[in-house]
């Protein structure tokens, strides 16, 4: 346990002291979740009425089911683009953390995309099965729970066993993906089986740190965006203070994106040092 914690502390020192790792870390963080946080702040989140309206419009359209095929294709294309950006960032992090003389040629982008795609696909598959099995719980929570709560919280409160199972599957997938980026897949599976007592808690802890960073970003950006959005809604863009507030919002957002990149660099460095000592710089 002490070696495990020392590895995390050593990785934190590396991430904090090497600024060249922050930008690829920020790319990974933003491509994975940062864009969702940004949209949640500046865009209007659809409520249950909007979701039901979209479903009715899709089903009633004369283009059904081809409109659903187009929508699914767009979603898959977006997922592929996101996966490509994450793979580029992860490869850049691995190249910055690896010792070429010791580790050889670092992982390439296609292999990184394959490893991340397998890990992400496993989580999606498990989530789909659990959603199908827990569909009655989701429906009951969606329609019959306390209507004063946001529908996301209602669904979460009614189907929490399925959500816990998804979180456990995500931790396993996170551990496998991190290992498969640094080892051959068969070796990664062996490492996952033999060192599950170390890599699974590490996956859970790093996921919690990543999510905590995104939640912090969400709260700070919402606090900054609220007065700015009121000014924009009132048509006060021409006031001298409004562009200053807008520039301040963008600056704070970029700082938070970079801080999330530091967290992602720490996560990558910890997985690297868990398998091999980091090279001296």
Q: Which of 204, 181, 170, 174 is nearest to 272 (CA)?
A: 181
> What do you get for the CA distance between the two ends of the chain, in Å?
26
* Average pLDDT estimate for 78-100: 79
pTM for the model = 0.79
Q: What is the pLDDT of residue 262?
A: 93
| Better pLDDT: 82 or 113 | 82
Q: Which of 70, 64, 14, 67 is nearest to 266 (CA)?
A: 14
Q: Residues 65, 137, 141, CA angle at the centre, nearest 5°?
A: 95
Q: What is the pLDDT of residue 254?
A: 92
Query: E-strand spans in 7-77?
Result: none
Q: What's the distance, CA 229 to chain centroid?
A: 26
Q: HSE on the CB side for 109, CA within 13 Å?
A: 11
What letter does residue 251 receive in the DSSP assignment? Answer: H
Positive or negative, the Cα torsion across 12, 14, 18, 21? Answer: negative
**18 neighbors 272 (Cβ within 8 angstroms):** no
Read off the pLDDT of residues 200-220 as tens digits, 9 standing for 90 and up. Answer: 888 899 999 999 999 999 999
Give the DSSP per-residue string, 79-118.
HHHHHHHHHHHHHHHHHHH--HHHH-SPPPHHHHHHHHHH
Q: Residues 125, 127, 130, CA angle at the centre, nearest 5°?
A: 110
257: pLDDT strictly greater than 90:
yes
3: pLDDT strictly greater than 90:
no
CA separation, residue 198 to residues 15, 30, 142, 194, 256 (Å): 21, 27, 38, 9, 30
Q: Residues 140, 142, 143, CA angle at the centre, nearest 5°?
A: 70
Q: What is the CA radius of gyration of the chain?
A: 21
Q: Is 226 exposed, middle or buried (0-12, 13-18, 19+ CB in 10 A)?
A: exposed
164: pLDDT strictly greater than 70:
yes
Residues, the chain: 281
Lowest mean pLDDT among 43-52, 146-155, 252-261, 264-273: 146-155
Tell me the C-alpha distance between 147 and 139, whole Å.
Answer: 13
């Amino acid at each position: 346990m002490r070696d495990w914690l020392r590895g995390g502390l050593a990785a934190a020192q590396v991430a904090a002291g090497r600024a060249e790792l922050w930008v690829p870390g920020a790319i990974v963080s933003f491509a994975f979740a940062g864009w969702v946080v940004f949209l949640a702040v500046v865009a209007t989140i659809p409520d249950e009425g909007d979701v039901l309206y979209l479903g009715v419009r899709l089903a009633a359209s004369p283009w059904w089911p081809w409109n659903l095929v187009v929508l699914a294709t767009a979603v898959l294309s977006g997922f592929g683009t996101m996966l490509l950006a994450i793979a580029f960032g992860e490869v850049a992090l691995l190249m910055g953390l690896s010792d070429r003389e010791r580790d050889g040629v670092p992982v390439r982008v296609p292999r990184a995309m394959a490893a991340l795609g397998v890990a992400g696909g496993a989580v999606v598959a498990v989530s789909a099965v659990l959603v199908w099995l827990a569909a009655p719980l989701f429906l009951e929570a969606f329609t019959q729970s306390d209507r004063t709560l946001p529908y996301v919280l209602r669904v979460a409160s009614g189907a929490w066993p399925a959500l816990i199972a998804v979180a456990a599957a995500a931790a396993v997938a996170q551990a496998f993906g991190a290992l498969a980026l640094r080892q051959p897949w068969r070796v990664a599976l062996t490492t996952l089986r033999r060192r599950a007592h170390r890599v699974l808690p590490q996956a859970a802890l790093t996921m919690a740190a990543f999510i905590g960073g995104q939640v912090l970003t969400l709260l700070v950006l919402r606090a900054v965006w609220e007065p700015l959005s009121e000014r924009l809604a009132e048509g006060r863009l021409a006031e001298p203070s409004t562009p200053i507030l807008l520039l301040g919002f963008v600056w704070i957002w970029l700082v938070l994106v970079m801080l999330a990149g530091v967290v992602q660099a720490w996560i990558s460095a910890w997985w690297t040092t868990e398998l091999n000592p980091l090279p001296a710089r």
